[in-house]
């Protein structure tokens, strides 16, 4: 029996031949079950079983060609080892995996089932292997997943994780699971996942969880050839296809939230995308095909919700919740998962969408040199590898470049800025988005990731936050943040993201190219308060901080940057700049003293050591109205950094107070202000708190982007002290406009936009602009010794 123990074979009882689904002339199976109702193509569940195998186990490749031949052979060897060492006992199926073993034991059974179902494994169609899987499923069901078991612990194991894996294995081995075994497994699934779980879209039955629950329900339907459950699995997806304005789901601005408070495209969102891509593919052409017209929202989310957070093949950690510290290079793994889902989803999308997505994924794969995507796919999903290889080999599919521009997702307090050669991501916390999420023992020191953490990647920096960053970085010194140095306990605050501060003014305005973004910061588990603004430009981010206060009895710091590198650092206190070789430059006007530290830090379950260069501003113990101004210049050379520091007229700080923060960039024609209150500055006046970005173009026109970050305004008046001839394009919420010596715009209910920006385009009057008094960076006081100092 090919090494398979006869004792074990008999112990499982029933097995291969007895469980075969043989149809008699009477139209009933040998076991007496009725054949499913008539279907044009025969049994409607037969194609579902085939499609499930092809989509989830892998298809579209030549099993005799490399790398598939070797990969399939390894799968077969692994499955043979599992079969050989399987030893059913009262508290285990394998001696080293004591029950309940919610993940490992079912996963081994599925591995064996895939070796049975896939070609080229050396065990393809092996009845003894299928019998072992069937017996193992039943043994696990009787000992752990019985209908009368107490579902202790995490609900997910009982309703999603365990049943999905067991059902997956059961479907793959088909008739080798006897009627008795299949019926008992179905009964257990029905007990832990009753149909009523899909009748109410709330609690843990939303977003990605709802998609998972529908997937389990579909597998249950396939197992039992149950058309009603198949219909339920499809219909219960519909709430996922609706835009939400609070809680879990997809928002109109592209945000995706799970666990009520956590931006989650990278993990739960990826699960949702993968699950829907799989269901669309499996059900296509069946009586239960997903036809809800609102499924277009899912297709739209590829470019609106997911792609903005994928940079050169990695998925940014700022949308991955508690999962960021699970493993080194987890961001690249998550990026591959999203890429895989997008290619699969493309099979159900329009031809135009499919072409765009293939070009986008091809670009990611070609630019990911840290963890080459095709090579990594070879070790994982063979179906993804085949689809990706086909796209890479298709000369008719051009690789898409990184799309320059800005995406501000106000409803999830996230922003992404892309310019040629660099990319940045900003993570904030608000009254609706938590500072951080911890749970299940994960991400216990992510306390300050929502305090304005500014991630950035330059050319060649694809592993900056990948290579053991989270296990070794100083969690009190995350780049871009302003924090109290008060020590915190691991897992401080409520779990699952319920760590929202009271601040409502979090967001900004963007014209799609540039942006002004602000955060009224209330420190996590701290009395620290600050007003922080970021102005995202072509080659720099201008960072302002004002009214920084604290009463914790410890210093408050703003972390200019914290790079995982051992590159040389040069600091010139007198000229007000610093440069980190191979990374970029920093300009600090106004004489601020930049503190620096070079250190080796060790951490992680299997301890590793990494080098860091940290730059920060010390606001002192219990500061009162402290502030800062600095420029981050990703990728800048030493000469470019020096030149920018020597050019105080490049940017003018219009205001940096608790009432407003703004800048003017003459070379770009930009005036941008975050108004924390009503008021006027830099030629702009507003009637209520808002964000305004003005950009004057070289063709005699200008664009004004306006938003209500607090989402409370029923009306807003914006006045620009600039001669304007006419309004060329407006928005439905633009209730009125007057032109002439100055422009006045009256907006309606901006609160309805959920913090989103709306733009107005005007034609400027050719007359001279009124004079505006601008405050420059100012003369830089002499500090420290003359000349640069290497660090």
Known catalytic residue at 476: no
Average confidence score pLDDT of the chain: 92
Task: Check if the beta carbon of residue 614 is closer than 8 Å to that of residue 561.
Answer: yes
With 0-12 CB in 10 A as exposed, 13-18 as middle and 19+ as buried, what is 766? exposed
Helix (H, G, I), strand (E, B) or coil at 582: coil
Backbone φ/ψ region at 696: left (φ over 0), alpha (ψ -120 to 50), beta: beta
Residues 469-490: what's their mean pLDDT?
Answer: 98
pLDDT band per the 50, 70, 90 thresholds, residue 772: very low
DSSP H or E run through 363: helix 351-367
pLDDT tens per residue across span 19-29: 333 232 333 32
Sheet holding 529-536, edge to edge: 506-510, 515-522, 529-536, 541-549, 626-634, 584-587, 577-580, 569-572, 789-790
The pLDDT tens digits of the residues spanning 702-713 come to 999 999 999 999
Give the pLDDT of residue 498.
Answer: 98
What is the Cα–Cα distance from 536 to 41, expressed in whole angstroms?
A: 57
Distance CA 420, CA 268 (A): 30
User: Catalytic: which of 139, 259, 332, 461?
Assistant: 259
Kindly state the tokens that stand for 225.
């050839």
Q: What is the pLDDT of residue 754?
A: 86
Going from the C-alpha of 61 to that of each of 66, 384, 385, the distances in angstroms are 10, 10, 9
Q: Cα(161)–Cα(166) distance, rounded to whole angstroms? A: 9
For range 465-487, the mean pLDDT: 98
Tokens of 11: 């112990």
pLDDT bracket for residue 41 (50, 70, 90): low
**What number of CA atoms fall less than 13 Å from residue 360's CA on the CB side?**
25
Average pLDDT over residues 196-212: 97
pLDDT tier, 732 (very low <50, low <70, confident <90, very high otherwise): confident
User: Which among 313, 210, 201 is positioned nearest to 266, based on CA atoms?
Assistant: 313
Residue 209 a catalytic site member? yes
Q: What are phi and psi of 483, to 5 degrees?
A: -140, 150
Q: Which residue has the higher pLDDT, 47 or 783?
A: 47
pLDDT of 237: 98
End-to-end CA distance of the chain: 69
Helix boundaries (H) for 174-318 = 179-192, 207-224, 227-235, 270-283, 296-301
Could you give the angle at the alpha carbon of 768 between the alpha carbons of 764 and 773, nearest 5°? 105
- Would you call 456 exposed, middle or buried from its count of C-beta atoms within 10 A (0-12, 13-18, 19+)? buried
Q: Judge whether 378 and 499 are in contact, CB under 8 Å.
A: no
Structural element, H or E, at residue 509: strand 506-510
In this predicted structure, what is the pLDDT of residue 141? 98
CA distance 450 to 436: 6
| Cα gap 484→502, rounded to integer Å | 17
By the 8 A CB rule, do 750 and 708 touch?
Answer: yes
DSSP annotation of 328 reads: T
In terms of Cα–Cα distance, which of 729, 726, 714, 720 is closest to 759?
Answer: 729
Q: Which of 268, 329, 514, 612 is catalytic?
A: 268
Torsion from C-alpha of 186, 190, 191, 196, nearest 10 degrees: 180
E strand spans, 264-362:
310-311, 314-315
- 441's CB contacts (< 8 A; 6+ apart) are 491
Q: What is the pLDDT of residue 786?
A: 39
Q: Based on the number of CB atoms within 10 Å of its own CB, is 405 exposed (0-12), middle (13-18) or buried (19 or more)?
A: middle
The DSSP 8-state label assigned to residue 100 in this structure reads T
Q: Which residues contact 200 (CB under 8 A, 6 or more apart)?
A: none
Q: What percent of the chain has pLDDT over 70?
A: 92
Q: What is the pLDDT of residues 397-452, one digit of tens each?
A: 999 999 999 999 999 999 999 999 999 999 999 999 999 999 999 999 999 999 99
- Give the per-residue pLDDT at 191: 97
Calculate mean pLDDT across residues 321-328: 97
Instruction: Quote the pLDDT of residue 114.
Output: 98
Predicted pLDDT of residue 791: 54
The pTM for the full model equals 0.92
For residue 33, CA distances in Å to 30, 46, 49, 180, 224 come to: 8, 15, 18, 11, 10
In angstroms, the CA 527 to CA 481 distance is 15
Does the CA dihedral 20-24-30-35 come out positive or negative?
Answer: positive
Indicate which residue of 157, 176, 209, 619 is catalytic: 209
DSSP 189-210: HHHHS-GGGGTS--TTSSHHHH
∠ CA(571), CA(576), CA(577), 5° rounding? 45
With H, G, I as helix, E, B as strand and everything else as coil, classify residue 407.
strand
Write down the residue that tokens 């009748």 correspond to.
199
557-596: per-residue pLDDT in tens?
A: 999 999 999 999 999 999 999 999 999 999 999 889 999 9
pLDDT value, residue 39? 53
Q: Do 582 and 565 meet the contact criterion of CB atoms below 8 Å apart? A: yes
Pairwise CA distance, residues 208 & 444, whole Å = 23
∠ CA 447-601-264, rounded to 5°: 35
pLDDT at 779: 33
Per-residue pLDDT reduced to its tens digit, 613-653: 999 999 999 999 999 999 999 999 999 999 999 999 999 99
Can you tell me whether residue 215 is helix, strand or coil? helix
- Give CA–CA dist 515/541, Å, rounded: 10
Give the Cα separation of 703 and 249 in Å (integer).
32
Kindly state the tokens that stand for 640.
Answer: 């470019």
Catalytic residue list contains 619? no
Residue 40: predicted pLDDT: 56
- How far is residue 537's CA from residue 631's CA, in Å, rounded to a whole number? 10
What is the DSSP code string of 32-75?
SPBPPPP-TTS-THHHHHHHHIIIII--SS-TTSTTHHHHHHHH
672 strand-pairing partners: 663, 693
Question: What is the token pair recorded at 96?
Answer: 């080293």
User: Is the pLDDT at 725 greater than 60, yes or no?
Assistant: yes
Share of the chain above pLDDT 90, in %: 89
What are residue 376's phi and psi, to 5 degrees?
Answer: -70, -35
Question: In this structure, what DSSP letter does residue 564 have?
Answer: S
Mean pLDDT of 450-463: 97
pLDDT at 380: 86
Work out the burial of residue 517: count CB atoms within 10 Å of its CB; fewer than 13 is exposed, 13-18 middle, 19 or more buried.
Answer: buried
Predicted pLDDT of residue 80: 98
pLDDT at 788: 52
Token readout for 250 is 């997809």
Has residue 154 got a pLDDT over 90?
yes
Token pair for 125: 């169609």
């Amino acid at each position: 029996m090919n090494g398979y123990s006869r004792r074990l074979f008999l112990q499982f009882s029933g097995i291969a031949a007895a469980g075969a689904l043989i149809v008699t002339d009477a139209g009933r199976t040998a076991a007496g079950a009725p054949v499913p109702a008539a279907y044009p193509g025969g049994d409607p569940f037969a194609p579902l079983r085939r499609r499930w195998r092809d989509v989830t186990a892998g298809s579209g490749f030549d099993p005799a060609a490399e790398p598939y031949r070797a990969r399939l052979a390894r799968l077969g060897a692994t499955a043979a080892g599992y079969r050989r060492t399987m030893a059913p006992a009262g508290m285990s199926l394998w001696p080293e995996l004591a029950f309940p073993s919610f993940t490992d034991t079912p996963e081994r059974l599925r591995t064996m089932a895939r070796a049975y179902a896939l070609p080229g494994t050396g065990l393809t169609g092996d009845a003894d292997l299928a019998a072992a899987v069937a017996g193992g499923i039943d043994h696990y069901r009787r000992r752990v997943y019985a209908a009368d078991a107490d579902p202790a612990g995490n609900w997910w194991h009982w309703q999603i994780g365990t049943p999905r894996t067991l059902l997956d294995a059961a479907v793959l081995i088909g008739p080798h699971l006897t009627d008795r075994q299949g019926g008992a497994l179905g009964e257990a699934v029905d007990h832990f996942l009753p149909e009523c779980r899909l009748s109410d879209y709330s609690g843990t039955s939303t977003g990605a969880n709802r998609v998972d629950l529908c997937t389990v329900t579909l597998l249950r339907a396939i197992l039992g050839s149950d058309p009603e459950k198949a219909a339920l699995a499809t219909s219960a997806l519909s709430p996922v296809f609706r835009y939400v304005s609070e809680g879990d789901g997809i928002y109109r601005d592209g945000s995706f939230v799970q666990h009520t408070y956590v931006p989650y495209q990278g993990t739960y969102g990826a699960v949702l995308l993968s699950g829907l891509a799989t269901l669309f593919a499996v059900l296509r052409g069946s009586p239960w095909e997903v036809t809800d017209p609102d499924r277009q929202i899912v297709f739209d989310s590829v470019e609106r919700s997911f792609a903005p957070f994928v940079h050169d093949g990695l998925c940014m950690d700022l949308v991955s919740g508690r999962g960021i510290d699970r493993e080194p290079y987890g961001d690249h793994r998550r990026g591959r998962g999203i890429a895989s889902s997008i290619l699969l989803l493309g099979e159900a999308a329009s031809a135009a969408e499919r072409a765009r997505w293939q070009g986008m994924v091809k670009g990611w794969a070609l630019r990911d040199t840290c963890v080459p995507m095709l090579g990594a796919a070879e070790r994982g999903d063979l179906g993804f590898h085949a689809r990706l290889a086909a796209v890479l080999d298709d000369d008719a599919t051009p690789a898409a470049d990184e799309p320059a521009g800005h995406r501000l997702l106000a409803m999830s307090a996230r922003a992404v800025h892309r310019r040629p050669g660099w990319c940045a991501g900003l993570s904030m916390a608000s009254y609706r988005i938590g500072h951080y999420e911890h749970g299940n023992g994960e991400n216990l020191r992510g306390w300050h990731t929502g305090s304005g953490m500014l991630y950035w990647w330059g050319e060649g920096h694809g592993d900056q936050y990948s290579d053991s960053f989270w296990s070794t970085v100083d969690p009190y010194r995350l780049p871009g943040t302003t924090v109290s140095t008060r020590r915190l306990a691991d897992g401080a605050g409520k779990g699952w993201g319920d760590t929202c501060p009271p601040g409502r003014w979090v967001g900004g305005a963007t014209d799609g190219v540039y942006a002004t973004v602000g955060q009224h910061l209330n420190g996590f588990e701290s009395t620290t308060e600050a007003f922080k603004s970021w102005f995202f430009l072509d080659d720099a981010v201008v960072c302002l901080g004002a009214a920084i206060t604290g009463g914790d009895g410890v210093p408050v710091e703003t972390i200019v940057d914290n790079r995982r590198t051992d590159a040389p650092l040069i600091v010139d206190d007198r000229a007000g700049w610093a440069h980190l070789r191979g990374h970029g430059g920093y300009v600090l006007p106004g004489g601020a003293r930049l503190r620096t530290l070079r250190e080796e830090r060790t951490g992680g379950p299997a301890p590793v050591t990494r080098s860091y260069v940290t730059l920060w501003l010390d606001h002192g113990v219990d500061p009162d109205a402290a502030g800062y101004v600095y420029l981050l210049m990703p990728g800048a050379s030493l000469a470019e950094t020096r030149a920018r520091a020597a050019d105080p007229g490049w940017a003018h700080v219009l205001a940096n107070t608790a009432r407003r923060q703004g800048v003017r960039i003459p070379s770009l024609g930009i005036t941008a202000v975050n108004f924390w209150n009503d008021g006027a500055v830099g030629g702009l006046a507003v009637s209520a708190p808002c964000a305004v970005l003005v950009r004057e173009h070289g063709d005699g026109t200008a664009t004004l982007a306006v938003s209500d970050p607090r989402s409370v305004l029923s009306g807003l008046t914006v006045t620009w002290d600039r001669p304007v001839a006419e309004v060329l394009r407006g928005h439905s919420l633009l209730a009125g406009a007057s032109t002439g010596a100055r422009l006045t715009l009256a907006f309606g209910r901006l609160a309805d936009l959920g913090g989103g920006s709306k733009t107005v385009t005007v034609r400027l009057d050719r007359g001279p602009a009124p004079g505006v008094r601008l405050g420059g960076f100012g003369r830089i006081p002499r500090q420290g010794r003359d000349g640069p100092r290497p660090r």
